[in-house]
Structure 1
Amino acid sequence: MRPKAWWVVGAALLLLLGLAQEVDPREEAKRQKELLLQTAGILPTELVVQQGEELFHRKGPSGKTMAECDFGLGKGVLEGAAARLPRYFLDTGRVEDLDHRILTCMTKVQGFPKEAVKRSEVVAVAFYIASKSTGHRINVRLLFPQEKELYALGEKLFYARTGARDVGCATCHVTYVGKRAGVLPYADVLGKDQSWTHWPAYRYSNDQTWTMQDRIRACYGNIAHPQPDLYSLPILALELFLAYHNNGAVVEEWPAFVR
């Protein structure tokens, strides 16, 4: 091929790449979702929700199911419950998000040893419970001193610059909002993007099921910072801070289907 022809091909490829980068990620997710439905007839999110429902009604060593657990609106009441988390629970004396509350339920109510609780089971139950909040608005309040203290910690962690790269959550999601990370722009997690309503979700790009806990841990990994442990205080603090700033946002679909 002559040099001029190579130049034309290269320019065309760059143009196509530029167009690909301009694709709305939500529209692309819808397209991928439709393709998966056409080929498989069912979405991974539906399968995980079904698994979570089975686990929810499974009896534990105590003989109880998760219907005996209170997720914030009374025993067994799931409609809209996930949209109100994290929150303070009187029975444990601490703030819990959906993942942590499921763990509490499985260990304290159902009687499973903590070491026997599989992460995949917690995620599946989170998908099922979250599905009951589709169409609800996020409604997280700071009523108890423990909630206010945890919110303050979450705010501090969000704006802190740490790690080998001297960056933090706010570096990407405040300072560089709209600028590209690969093919996607950094989201305004405290404002218009309402990213709290994107999780829990199935990520079609890597075939993974994630809750917000997994998303936060992945973010820490992306900035070359040691990842907080699952169910740890830093994760709960960041979740409460982010959820509070997404108050009023409508949950379009839980679990979501994202890139």
Structure 2
Amino acid sequence: MLLRSWWMVGVLFLLGLALAQGEVDPREEAKRQKQLLLETAGILPTELIVEQGKELFNRKGPSGKTMAECDFGLGKGVLEGAAARLPRYFLDTGKVEDLDSRILTCMTQVQGFRPDQIKRQEVVAIAFYIASFSTGKPIQVRLLFPQERELYALGEKLFYARSGAKDIGCATCHVSYMERRAGVLPFTDVLGKAKAWTHWPAYRYSNDQIWTMQDRIRACYGNLGHPQPALYSLPILALELFMAYQNNGAVVEEWPAFVR
């Protein structure tokens, strides 16, 4: 805890100094903060989280099985490139699942955990570990099943919908103002320019948080003044599928990422 606090003091001090001197490029600032942590601590928070996820992945559940018995879309225990192909429809559950919800399915149906025994922090850590096997892989999301196509259509409607007191939505920031604010809002670019789906899961050094895309979507809704969708809910999965499909072909530069 003391080491983590030390990291944050240094990170926030340098970020505040940079902002005081004027507008900064968030990508370049992330590189500087990343280098700072490597020089001061010798390890990145993302590396620690991945190691935690690895331990949890190999932990036996009440059924006596580890997550190596789980199929994330490419066969039992196959993780190489699996996260880059999600969300997708799974025959064993009869529904579309993203990485987070598939982990939940694995922990309950394969490992035998009760839903109330599953901590969100553990799901996120496991997601970081699994995603690390897709670094350098292209996004390959399909729309082969009717369930995938229906969810994609819902995600498209939600992305472009404007509502609430502010009359804004996802596309207001991430499409309408993408050209002007691409460096500020590298969430996703459905026009295929930023290919920023590859930013998540990520460690956010500005607030010392670890987020998957589910957390990012919920935060966006909160920023817009909308009620946040529940974790693992249909609106989140629909938005994920829509955005992931729009970013097909983008190469994952680094999972988990290190962002502001």
Q: TM-score, normalised by structure 2?
A: 0.90
Secondary structure, counterpart of 2:258 in structure 1: strand
**1:122-161 to 2 correspondences below 5 Å:** 122-161=123-162
Work out the CA distance in 2 between the residues paired with 1:210 and 1:40: 22
Give the AA of the match of 1:169. Answer: C
Counterpart residue number, 2:205: 204
For the pair 1:172 / 2:164, whether they are aligned, the reply is no
Root-mean-square deviation over aligned CA pairs: 1.6
**1:205-244 to 2 correspondences below 5 Å:** 205-244=206-245
Residues 168/44 of structure 1: CA separation in 2 closer, same or farther (3 Å cut): same
Counterpart residue number, 2:15: none
Work out the CA distance in 2 between the residues paired with 1:39 and 1:194: 31
Work out the CA distance in 2 between the residues paired with 1:247 and 1:186: 16
The more displaced of 184-193 and 197-206 is: 184-193
Count matched residues. Answer: 242
**1:66-81 to 2 correspondences below 5 Å:** 66-81=67-82
Residues 147/221 of structure 1: CA separation in 2 closer, same or farther (3 Å cut): same
**1:1-259 to 2 correspondences below 5 Å:** 20-21=22-23, 23-180=24-181, 184=184, 189-190=189-190, 191-259=192-260
Deviation at 1:24, TM superposition (A): 2.2
Work out the CA distance in 1 between the residues paired with 2:173 and 2:93: 35
Q: Which runs of 5+ in 1 are unaligned?
A: 1-15
The more displaced of 219-228 and 189-198 is: 189-198
Residues 149/104 of structure 1: CA separation in 2 closer, same or farther (3 Å cut): same
Deviation at 1:28, TM superposition (A): 1.1
Deviation at 1:205, TM superposition (A): 0.3
Residues 53/185 of structure 1: CA separation in 2 closer, same or farther (3 Å cut): closer
Deviations 1:163-204 (A, max 9, x none): 2211100111111223349x8256652121111100000000
Counterpart residue number, 1:10: none
Secondary structure, counterpart of 1:178 in structure 2: helix
Work out the CA distance in 1 between the residues paired with 2:232 and 2:216: 13
Residues 115/188 of structure 1: CA separation in 2 closer, same or farther (3 Å cut): closer
Residues 221/43 of structure 1: CA separation in 2 closer, same or farther (3 Å cut): same
Deviation at 1:17, TM superposition (A): 5.9
Q: Which runs of 5+ in 2 are unaligned?
A: 1-17
Deviation at 1:19, TM superposition (A): 6.2
Work out the CA distance in 2 between the residues paired with 1:236 and 1:180: 26
Q: TM-score, normalised by structure 1?
A: 0.90
Structure of larger gyration radius: 1
Secondary structure, counterpart of 1:184 in structure 2: coil
Residues 17/218 of structure 1: CA separation in 2 closer, same or farther (3 Å cut): closer
Work out the CA distance in 1 between the residues paired with 2:188 and 2:146: 28
